């Protein structure tokens, strides 16, 4: 038990040391507390789940690039949401069901008109009222962020809430090769017969 504790403490020390050196420029995204905490948790969890590989220097840089791309996507989505907030509704998509299905005879359009301030929709709004009026890139962002779209719960592709989960999944797939021919973990493994420098777990 104590051996495991000290091995894990050593792993944490090595990961923390590498993370403090990760793009140390002042104001760097990678040095923010939020980013550092996510990187640390993901690396520690991955290393504990894959004890046969352990942690190797450079893994933090691979993960950092994935996390950065996800954060840029989330930031862009946030900007689009601010500008086109009326396109990001939480209304259920009635078109995904058959018109003559008896279980879905409720008129969602009429109901949603009266739930907004109890008076119906604001007719004098100057904002973009139709999805087709948006540029193609914004249309794609709106469609991929539809919580009730064709994918149901999976319709939310980019979410700040699940950024850490997504980064872990992407990192794990990158390291394992996700069933492909190349797994990044192979590049971190020492050739047969050469002692490894990875921390023991």
The pLDDT assigned to 135 comes to: 78
* Burial bucket for residue 39 (CB in 10 Å: 0-12, 13-18, 19+): buried
Instruction: Tally the domains of the chain.
Output: 1
The pLDDT assigned to 68 comes to: 94
- Give the tens place of pLDDT for each residue, 56-95: 989 999 999 999 999 998 888 778 777 776 666 555 444 4
Please indicate, yes or no, if residue 123 is contained in any of the structural domains. no
pLDDT mean over 3-31: 88
The pLDDT assigned to 122 comes to: 44
pTM over the 0.95 mark: no
Beta carbons of 178 and 56 less than 8 angstroms apart:
no
Please indicate, yes or no, if residue 179 is contained in any of the structural domains. yes
Q: Please count the helices (runs of H) and the strands (runs of E) in the chain.
A: 7, 0
pLDDT mean over 50-59: 89
Distances (CA, A) of 64 to 29, 143, 158, 194: 10, 27, 17, 28
Beta carbons of 12 and 44 less than 8 angstroms apart:
yes
User: Which candidate, 32, 161, 18, 158, places its Cα nearest to that of 88?
Assistant: 158
User: In angstroms, what is the C-alpha Rg of the chain?
Assistant: 24
Please indicate, yes or no, if residue 195 is contained in any of the structural domains. no
pLDDT mean over 41-58: 92
Domain around 173: 2-118+128-188
For residues 138 and 56, what is the distance between their CA atoms, to the nearest angstrom? 40
- Give the tens place of pLDDT for each residue, 121-135: 444 444 555 666 777
The pLDDT assigned to 200 comes to: 43
Please indicate, yes or no, if residue 196 is contained in any of the structural domains. no
């Amino acid at each position: 038990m104590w051996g495991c504790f000290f091995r894990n403490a050593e792993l944490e020390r090595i990961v923390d040391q590498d993370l403090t050196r990760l793009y140390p420029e002042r104001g760097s995204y990678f040095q923010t507390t939020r980013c550092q905490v996510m990187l640390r948790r993901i690396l520690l969890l991955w290393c504990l789940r894959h004890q046969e590989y352990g942690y190797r220097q450079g893994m933090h840089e691979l993960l950092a690039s994935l996390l950065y791309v996800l954060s840029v996507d989330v930031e862009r989505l946030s900007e689009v949401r601010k500008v086109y907030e009326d396109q990001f509704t939480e209304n259920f998509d009635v078109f995904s069901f058959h018109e003559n299905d008896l279980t879905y005879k409720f008129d969602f359009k009429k109901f949603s008109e009266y739930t907004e301030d109890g008076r119906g929709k604001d007719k004098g709004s100057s904002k973009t009222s139709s999805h087709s009026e948006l540029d193609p890139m914004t249309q794609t962002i709106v469609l991929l962020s539809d919580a009730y779209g064709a994918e149901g719960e999976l319709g939310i592709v980019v979410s700040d809430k699940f950024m850490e989960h997504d980064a872990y999944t992407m990192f794990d797939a990158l390291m394992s090769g996700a069933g492909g021919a190349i797994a990044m973990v192979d590049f971190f493994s020492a050739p047969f017969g050469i002692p490894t420098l990875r921390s023991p777990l």
